[in-house]
Chains A and B, each alone.
Chain A
């Protein structure tokens, strides 16, 4: 009687311990909901898009069978597509440094416990919650050639405001300003979070070491948040390559295609002209561009890490 009753708890305990470490088919159940969403909503469309890019698939003319690299060859000869690639890359080049630089600047400025800082943090982050429709509406009122806010302000000084919506060279910079104004909050918050991780003692040690504010920034703060700088740059590269709403609503890609980004080209090819294969091929090129840019950023980040 007594022997089994003593042995049983031991055996039960061992079985439990085994179960914790053992891989069983049941474990898969725990990740099934996410797995399902991941497969259906990400992996399948990704594969489908790649497959489509090698097909002649026109919603009006119907399915014309596989065409190999023909869609890609046509894209490389399409002036409007090449222009949109140039525009998008230019937009990334002017907007991402602004996000990193301005985001960091605001974070450094607002990195304290004062009520004033928390007020401005909310203000700068607040605009991020607005939809692109509202943001562009507001900025169209600012940019409007004759009666816009910008012209009114310039007019007070007897000047003429630059016309962001109708000047080819200014269209993308104009959209970049809107975009930075709209979503500068996220980079700022990421930088703030990183800055708050730096121990206060390190700054105190620097103060005792006679470090100037500039020296502290360059030698203490920036190296400490280097990973966040890379992170923000990668996030913004990925986000800004997908420019669409602002360009669509402010300039509609104009003037003279000067602000037409790749996503807008894809949208028009796919949902205006119904050339799904062609649009899918353009999407794959955007995907490769984004992947390349993000990998380059990360590689640069690692280089500094070693040095």
Chain B
């Protein structure tokens, strides 16, 4: 169990800069998820921590020791790959023993560690099989087992759930969360799936174009997105974003107007907003209320059983999604009247920085 420090880490391939300059602290024992769209540099960052990619700039410390010049095997980390990367001609037992034999561990010790890991992952019956005789989920389990036996300072996961079907993915998610509680090791998990990030992470680092947009607990990034990118990326359906104009201040909060002129009250302090050239309003579907002063027409109705998402077109052309009850009677074409919960409205300035209710 160890903390990991990234100091001014940079990575370029020739003239292409993947990660310009990134610094962050990963706290010992936490489950940190790097979340971002494809090509945002999250996998590259993980591979740099593992030692599979060299750094162009900066340094990486694990447990206070500088590791960026060490070969991967000497960094004390274990990695679970997207395609498992099991050794195809070795049995499950040999797959798990390989790394331990390479550091000269005694056979008895190796057997004990494999037995422990097999018990934790409930895969005793698989030990004599070869990877080709395993299902996708079982292979995933072996890959995790291979990491566990090494008792690493940190576990690195590179989108390990993306090859599993939906049911297995949600089950493995729970198992990984449980594993984290059991072994209490630092875990770094890379994914583009926000559900994985929200459900497993102690903290999420949201990345975009090689930069970290925000680091915070799942609820922090959901409730107080630091930037417009985070606001749009986290949450399904995505947060409604509408262009607005600042009207003034009322009861300590900014008052804005939609393009159609409708007045929207917020609890966002006005300081810092007046100087912004443009302003955007963000509000999640569950914070849009019915019965307000904003008129629209239902265009798409998504019934999920427990709730209903209604996509309503405003007169100015903007599309607003709101959450309605599961037994909502709204149907396509119906007129709807909407309002925004002032305490839950966010405003984003021209630099994309979010301003929230105090």
Q: Are B85 and A202 in contact (CB under 8 A)?
A: yes
A212 at the interface (CB under 8 A from B): yes
- 0 or 1 for each of B154-187: is its CB under 8 Å from A? (1 = yes): 0000000000000000000000000000000000
Contacts of B304 in A (CB 8 A): none
Give the docked Cα–Cα distance between A223 and B74 (Å).
25
Q: Are B83 and A201 in contact (CB under 8 A)?
A: yes
> Which range holds the interface residue count of chain B?
20 to 34
Q: Could you say which of A7-15, A158-166, A203-211, A266-274 contacts chain B? A: A203-211
Q: Are B87 and A219 in contact (CB under 8 A)?
A: yes
Contacts of A215 in B (CB 8 A): 102
CB distance from B313 to the nearest CB of A (A): 43
Contacts of B71 in A (CB 8 A): 207
Selected contact of B74 from candidates A202, A204, A210, A219, CB within 8 Å: A210
Residues of B47-91 at the interface with A, using a CB-CB cut-off of 8 Å, are 50-52, 71-74, 77-79, 81-90
A4 at the interface (CB under 8 A from B): no
Contacts of B88 in A (CB 8 A): 202, 224
Selected contact of B85 from candidates A201, A219, A226, CB within 8 Å: A201
Residues of A169-220 at the interface with B, using a CB-CB cut-off of 8 Å, are 199, 201-202, 204-212, 215, 219-220
Give the docked Cα–Cα distance between A205 and B50 (Å).
10
Selected contact of B81 from candidates A205, A209, A212, A223, CB within 8 Å: A205
Q: Are A210 and B87 in contact (CB under 8 A)?
A: no
Give the docked Cα–Cα distance between A224 and B102 (Å).
19
Q: Are A204 and B52 in contact (CB under 8 A)?
A: yes
Give the docked Cα–Cα distance between A76 and B197 (Å).
79
- Closest residue on chain B to residue A205 by CB atoms: B85
Count chain A residues whose beta carbon lies closer than 8 angstroms to a beta carbon of B. 18
Given A204-B52, A204-B72 in contact, is the A209-B99 Cβ separation under 8 Å? yes
User: Which among A204, A208, A220, A223 has the highest number of chain B CB atoms within 10 Å?
Assistant: A208
- Closest residue on chain B to residue A212 by CB atoms: B102
Q: Are B72 and A202 in contact (CB under 8 A)?
A: no
SS class of chain A's interface: helix, strand, loop or mixed?
A: helix
Give the docked Cα–Cα distance between A209 and B85 (Å).
12
Q: Are B99 and A204 in contact (CB under 8 A)?
A: no
Contacts of A210 in B (CB 8 A): 73-74, 99, 102-103
Give the docked Cα–Cα distance between A223 and B91 (Å).
13
Residues of A133-155 at the interface with B, using a CB-CB cut-off of 8 Å, are none
CB distance from B229 to the nearest CB of A (A): 30
- Closest residue on chain A to residue B94 by CB atoms: A219
Q: Are A204 and B85 in contact (CB under 8 A)?
A: yes
Residues of B171-221 at the interface with A, using a CB-CB cut-off of 8 Å, are none
- Closest residue on chain B to residue A204 by CB atoms: B52
Contacts of A209 in B (CB 8 A): 73, 98-99, 102, 146, 150
- 0 or 1 for each of A229-254: is its CB under 8 Å from B? (1 = yes): 00000000000000000000000000
Give the docked Cα–Cα distance between A3 and B105 (Å).
80
Contacts of A206 in B (CB 8 A): 87, 98
Contacts of A201 in B (CB 8 A): 81-85
- 0 or 1 for each of B236-279: is its CB under 8 Å from A? (1 = yes): 00000000000000000000000000000000000000000000
- Closest residue on chain B to residue A202 by CB atoms: B85
CB distance from A303 to the nearest CB of B (A): 15
- Closest residue on chain A to residue B81 by CB atoms: A201
Q: Are A205 and B73 in contact (CB under 8 A)?
A: no
Contacts of B89 in A (CB 8 A): 223-224, 226
Contacts of A207 in B (CB 8 A): 51-52, 71-73
Contacts of A208 in B (CB 8 A): 50-52, 72-73, 77-79, 99
- Closest residue on chain B to residue A203 by CB atoms: B85
Contacts of A224 in B (CB 8 A): 88-89
- 0 or 1 for each of B97-132: is its CB under 8 Å from A? (1 = yes): 011001100000000000000000000000000000
Interface residues of A (CB under 8 A from B): 199, 201-202, 204-212, 215, 219-220, 223-224, 226
6 A-B Cβ contacts within 8 A?
Answer: A201-B83, A204-B85, A209-B150, A219-B90, A219-B98, A220-B87
Q: Using A205-B86, A207-B71 as known contacts, list a sample of 4 further A-B pairs with CB atoms less than 8 Å apart, ordered by residue number in A.
A: A207-B52, A207-B72, A208-B99, A209-B98
Interface residues of B (CB under 8 A from A): 50-52, 71-74, 77-79, 81-90, 98-99, 102-103, 146, 150
